[in-house]
Structure 1
Amino acid sequence: MFISKFRWVAPIALMLSASFLASCGLPGVGPTKNQIFAGSVQREGDAFVVAVNDRVTRATAVVPALGFSDTLRHASIQSADIIRPGDTLGLTIWENVDDGLLAGEASNATILESVQVDGSGFIFVPYAGRIKAAGNTPEAIRRIITEKLEDQTPDPQVQVRRTAGDGATVSILGSAGTQGVFPITRPTRTLASMLASAGGVGMSPEIAQITLTRGNQSETIWFEDLYDNPELDIALRDGDRILVEADQRSFTALGAAGSQTRLTFDTRTLSLVEALAQLGGLSPTTADPTGVFVFRNEPAEISNIVLGRNDLVGAQRLIYVLDLTEPNGLFVARDFLIRDGDTIYVTEAPIVQWNRTIASITGTLGGAQGLTTAATGGTLGE
């Protein structure tokens, strides 16, 4: 009789000790599911815990909207022959007289080579004076010089050509096929054509972003949008800077996921299922598929929709929870989009926490299994 009672008293005492140790907080990968729920606003915490359903996935399905402003999109195509400071011009001037202003007695043509455009954008032409060259095409400069000379010599004929210098240029940096400074020529007067001339992008087009900086203004577009929609292409200007880089959005994974790490997006839209796949799935030995959480600072406009309120102001801490074991669980996870800065946290299965607690008492996992056997009707001696 005494032995029979002892057989039950020992396991019960150990289980009570296990419960006490669990309440004291044993080592683990992070908070348990119950601890997360305990920190909710509904329980006087500081975060809203929301179970994800189809309504929530629709309300939170936000993808960064990238594109150029109307100011850039409506800019006209610029001539590829624009002269800039530092360029060198060649001038030929014909005069319709034997002894002209510039030409000698033996010739009615005057050739001026190596006329450099100064830092202020001007050139000097005898009898025509200082001419604004920078910002003009050779044809426009020809007309200006002709008008200046025709009052002093009959019917002057002028030819203007660039002999050195690239004229208008843009710089291409980042993960383009080729980096460098490129002249704006007739075939490369738009962003898409210039990128093609530079060898395209050196990464997956799906995550490539193109940022154009003009003066103090920078705007970004998805490369795929630029490629698929010719109407989004823009005209280039002298001095434009083009940066090609991969999508910089990222998320962090913790807990019992396949790995604990920080990863960047490998697609423009990334669902929770795809994010878990990037991580190698859930840990088959420790993960609790009923406790998959996504921590996010949600803008007020989305928070109010998700929570069915209209009084929230400023970013709110929201914790989205998914149960992948539900009949619709994987479909919901497939439709729930991950956003920049999200933290995905997978809780441990209760049995893992239990085994860790018992092992802390018995010293081995085998001791935990023996205690389970004893508690369910076996004997300590068996």
Structure 2
Amino acid sequence: MKPTATRRAKAVALLAIVSIVASCGLPRVGPNKREIYSGSVQQEGNAFVVAVDDHVTHAIDSVPSLGFSESFRSAGALGSDTIRAGDTLGLTIWENVDDGLLSNEGLNSTMLEEVQVDGSGFIFVPYAGRIQAAGNTPEAIRRIITNKLADQTPDPQVQVRRLAGDGATVSLVGAVGAQGVYPIERPTRTLSAMLARAGGVTIEPEIAQVRVLRGGKSGKIWFQDLYEHPEMDIALRGGDRVMVEEDSRAFTALGATGQQARMPFEHQTLSAIEAIAQVGGLMASAADPTGVFVMRDEPAHVANHVLGRRDLSGNQRMIYVLDLTEPNGIFMARDFTIRDGDTLYVTEAPFTQWNKVVSAMTGSLASVGAVNSAAETF
């Protein structure tokens, strides 16, 4: 065969090998930029693909806030000696006559031991009737009984004391130094003071959340906000349940990043650039810095704002595009807020796929050469 014909045959064979290798589904981390854009609404897909700019960062710049409702904030601090239903009281009543209403002849005092506060919060005292005890202090109960008896016996003197019962208590569970049930005492009548009494939080304060359950209501706040916003340091009530838990928000990182995993939030707010850094940055040998995508379901009012529309309803699939090679691309990534449940996806650079084709091709050629060499030895 002539040299020219031989070279032509080799070129045809090389092109055939390249075509075969390229047509075989080479391994890759996910869709490329072209495939993502082809799934946009503009291309009759089902997701809006939006390039991130200042308008977009401002439109989505809203961090869900935590805090307590007015019913929690308006509750006054309890006294350390407030009586509760179920407590047991002891009463001593002195009368300024020898033959009093309650005392026996020759005695001027009467002791009523183990008077239990019923489930409705009342006690019964002879001649004084039913007395509201729960929610009152012993001193307040003393005044009520004295006034009730004053019309029936001259100058009565009353003493009230708690014999049994823990009074108002709060249970603390979760990431606190010492879980347990604690009485509301004078130094621990507010949430921050009670947390300190339990040994403080045992997780990073920046991602610690404090939940308070009171009856059928609940409220939650960031631990740090208790100190930055004193009005959120609510007064406690008997029966409150306080739980300290770690922030459960997370995002998923996929593609050409240093780590592909579900990642928890490390701060109360997380930007795209912080999220990229948290997963180890972009893979220098594979990532396309013009193809950084953030995918999420966006509420209709946010999607309408971002897209400049008014006709969208329901959650919308949004794909935000960050180009880190732009002059202000890093700033856009810094200002773009990551949300709970977001997917951060980084596409591979075109060179990466070409490199895979070449590697597969040269590997195939080496294999063919080895077979030919082996055949020639026989």
Question: Structure 1 length as normaliser, TM-score?
Answer: 0.88
SS at match of 1:331: helix
Q: Does 1:249 align with 2:263?
A: no
Distance (whole Å) between structure 1 residues aligned to residue 237 and residue 259 of structure 2: 47
Query: After alignment, is 269-278 or 357-366 more displaced?
Result: 357-366
The amino acid across from 1:206 in the alignment is E
How far off is 1:297 after superposition? Answer: 0.5
What is the CA–CA distance in structure 1 between the aligned matches of 2:308 and 2:106, rounded to whole Å?
A: 92
Partner of 1:238: 238
1:90–1:161: 8 Å Cα contact kept in structure 2?
Answer: yes
CA–CA separation in structure 1 for the residues paired with 2:233 and 2:165: 27
Letter in 2 for 1:333: A
Residue 181, structure 1, aligned to residue 173, structure 2? no
Equivalent-residue separation in structure 1 for 2:301 and 2:124 (angstroms):
62
C-alpha RMSD over aligned residues: 2.3
Query: Is the contact made by 1:358 and 1:365 (CA closer than 8 Å) also made in structure 2?
Result: no
SS at match of 1:270: coil
Q: SS of 1:258's equivalent?
A: coil
Alignment partner of 2:7 out of 4, 22, 47: 4
> CA–CA distance in 2 between the matches of 1:75 and 1:326?
53
CA–CA separation in structure 2 for the residues paired with 1:5 and 1:366: 20
Q: Which whole-Å deviations, capped at 9, do the CAs of 1:129-162 have from their partners, x for residues lacking one?
A: 4433222221221122212322332110001111
Which residues of structure 1 form unaligned runs of 5+?
371-382
> Which letter does structure 1 place at the counterpart of 2:21?
A
Structure 2 match to 1:99: 99
Residues 1:334 and 2:337 aligned together: no
Structure 2: tracts of 5 or more residues without a match: 370-378
Distance 1:252 1:280 in 2: 13
Amino acid across the alignment from 2:72: L
Are 1:89 and 1:161, in contact at CA under 8 Å, matched by a contact in 2?
yes
- CA-CA distance at 1:270 after TM superposition: 0.5
CA distance in 1, matches of 2:290, 2:113: 80
1:32-71: per-residue Cα shift (whole Å, max 9, x none)? 1211111111111000111112222222222111112223
The separation in 2 between residues aligned to 1:14 and 1:296, in whole angstroms, is 41
Residue 324 of structure 1 pairs with residue 324 of structure 2: yes
Q: Tell me the SS of whatever aligns to 2:231.
A: helix
1:202-351 to 2 correspondences below 5 Å = 202-351=202-351
Counterpart amino acid of residue 15 in structure 1: V
- 1:14 and 2:17 are equivalent in the alignment: yes
CA distance in structure 2 between the partners assigned to 1:129 and 1:302 by the alignment: 62
- Compared with structure 1, are the counterparts of its residues 124 and 363 closer, same or farther at alpha carbon in structure 2 (3 Å cutoff)? same
TM-score under structure 2 length normalisation: 0.89
Identity of aligned residues (%): 65
Structure 1 runs (4+) deviating above 6 angstroms are none
Structure 2 letter corresponding to 1:147? N
Secondary structure at 1:210's aligned position in 2?
Answer: strand
Q: Distance in 1 between matches of 2:217 and 2:125?
A: 37
- Report deviation, 1:262: 0.8
Between stretches 335-344 and 215-224, larger displacement belongs to 215-224
Deviation at 1:292, TM superposition (A): 1.2
